[in-house]
Amino acid sequence: MLTRCLAIPAACTILAIPAACTILAIAPAFAQSVSVAPSGSLANFLSRQTSDQWLVTKFIDRTVFGTDGMPVGTIKDLVVDRDGTIAGVVVGITGGNGAGDKTIGVPFKSLQVTRASNNEERFVLQVTRSDLRNAPDFAAGESGATTGAGSSGLR
């Protein structure tokens, strides 16, 4: 195109004006959704956590309670899909009442957040000790494994 512009400057001016107008027309909308990093690269940044978001640190190593109100284990990890959705919770189950130590995985949606009598948040699974004894052990996939084109390689 540059070679053609040097040979036909009027044609380039005619093409450049609509392109510039288009860029100017969409620039305000683009600027509202994307922040420009100081280095000039385009990047998105979060400036704060919103009221409907949780940090992962809120979950890790927190006690999980069963239906009887007794502790059944501790959150050890979260399983995150490629699109960033938390798919599951990995819970280290403590021994007791015939249940040996093991690690289980449950869907994230099955973890309920309730308030204890002291107003402290509690993580609750609607499970019994028998459910935990019979639950399959959780097996994490190979770290860094990829499948398909465009994979981020994160696991």
Q: What domain count does the chain have? A: 2
d(CA 7, CA 130): 82
What region does 24 belong to: left with phi over 0, alpha with psi -120 to 50, or beta? alpha
More confident site: 146 or 53: 53
d(CA 32, CA 30): 5
Predicted structure pTM score: 0.62
- Do 65 and 112 sit in the same domain of this protein? yes
The CATH number covering residue 69 comes to 2.30.30.240
pLDDT, tens only, 118-136: 988 999 999 987 888 899 9
Range of the domain at 7: 2-43
Helix, strand, or coil here: 112? Answer: strand
- Do 81 and 121 sit in the same domain of this protein? yes
pLDDT, tens only, 32-75: 444 445 666 667 888 999 998 889 899 999 999 998 888 999 99
